[in-house]
Chains A and B, each alone.
Chain A
Amino acid sequence: MEWMMAVAVGILFTVGVYLILSKTLLRIVLGTSLLTHGVHLLLLTLAGLKKGAAPLLGNEAEAYADPLPQALILTSIVISFGVTAFFFVLAYRAYQAHGTDDMDSVREEEQ
Chain B
Amino acid sequence: MNNLLVLPILIPLCTAVILMFLKEQVLLQRFISIFSGILNLVLSCVLVSRIHEKGIQTLHMGGWAPPYGIVLVGDMFAALLVLTASAVSLGILLYSFTSIGPERERFYYYSFFHFLLVGVYGSFLTGDIFNLFVFFEVMLISSYAMISLGGTKHQLRETAKYLLVNIVSSTLFVAAVAYQYAAVGTLNMAQLSQRIAETGQSGVLNVIAVLFLTVFALKAGLFLFFWLPGAYSAPSSAVRALFGALLTKVGLYAIIRTFTLIFTSDPHFTNGWIAWMAAATMILGAMGAVAYNDIPRILNYNVIISVGFIAFGLSAGTPDALDGTVYYLLHDMLGKGLMFILGGLIIAAAGTDRLSSMGGLIKRYPLLGWSFFALALTLAGIPPFSGFPGKVLIIRGGLDSGMLTLSLIGLGSSLLVLYSLIKVFRLAFWGNPPDRELPKVNLKGGTAVAAGLFVLVIVMGLGAEWVNTYVSQAGEVLGSPWLYIEAVLKE
Contacts and interface: CB of A to CB of B under 8 A. Distances in A.
A90 B163 contact: yes
B177 to A, nearest CB: 7
A72 B130 CA distance: 8
A35 B156 contact: no
Interface string B149-181: 001111011011001100110110011011101
Contacts of A109: 153
Contact of A42 (B130, B151, B153, B175): B175
A87 B174 contact: no
B141 A32 contact: no
Interface residues of A, number: 36
A32 B162 CA distance: 13
A107 B134 CA distance: 32
A98 B156 CA distance: 9
Given A20-B168, A72-B130, A94 B182 contact: no
A18 interface: no
B141 A39 contact: no
B306 interface: no
Contact of A35 (B160, B163, B171): B171
Contacts of A82: 141
Given A72-B130, A87-B167, A94 B157 contact: yes
B30 to A, nearest CB: 26
A85 to B, nearest CB: 11
Interface string B87-125: 000000000000000000000000000000000000000
Q: Is the interface of A mostly helix, strand, loop or mixed?
A: helix
Contact of B174 (A47, A76, A90, A110): A76
A83 B141 contact: yes
A94 B174 contact: no
B167 A79 contact: no
A93 B151 contact: yes
B171 A79 contact: no
Main secondary structure, interface of B, reads helix
B177 A94 contact: no
A36 interface: yes
A4 B151 CA distance: 44
A8 interface: no
A79 B136 CA distance: 11
A46 B164 contact: no
Interface in B376-418: none
B148 interface: yes
A106 B156 CA distance: 10
A44 B300 CA distance: 39
A55 interface: no
B137 interface: yes
Nearest to A93: B156
Contacts of A25: 160
Interface in B14-53: none
Contacts of B373: none
B156 A32 contact: no
B204 to A, nearest CB: 11
Contact of B181 (A39, A46, A86, A106): A46
Contacts of B187: 68
Given A79-B134, A87-B164, 8 more contacts: A20-B164, A39-B174, A43-B177, A72-B177, A83-B141, A87-B167, A90-B144, A94-B156
* Pairs of residues from A and B, 4 with the lowest C-beta to C-beta distance, nearest first: A46-B182, A43-B178, A94-B156, A46-B178
Interface of B: 130, 133-134, 137, 141, 144-145, 148, 151-154, 156-157, 159-160, 163-164, 167-168, 170-171, 174-175, 177-179, 181-182, 187
Interface of A: 20, 25, 28, 32, 35-36, 38-40, 42-43, 46-48, 68-69, 72, 75-76, 79-80, 82-83, 86-87, 90-91, 93-94, 97-98, 103, 106-107, 109-110
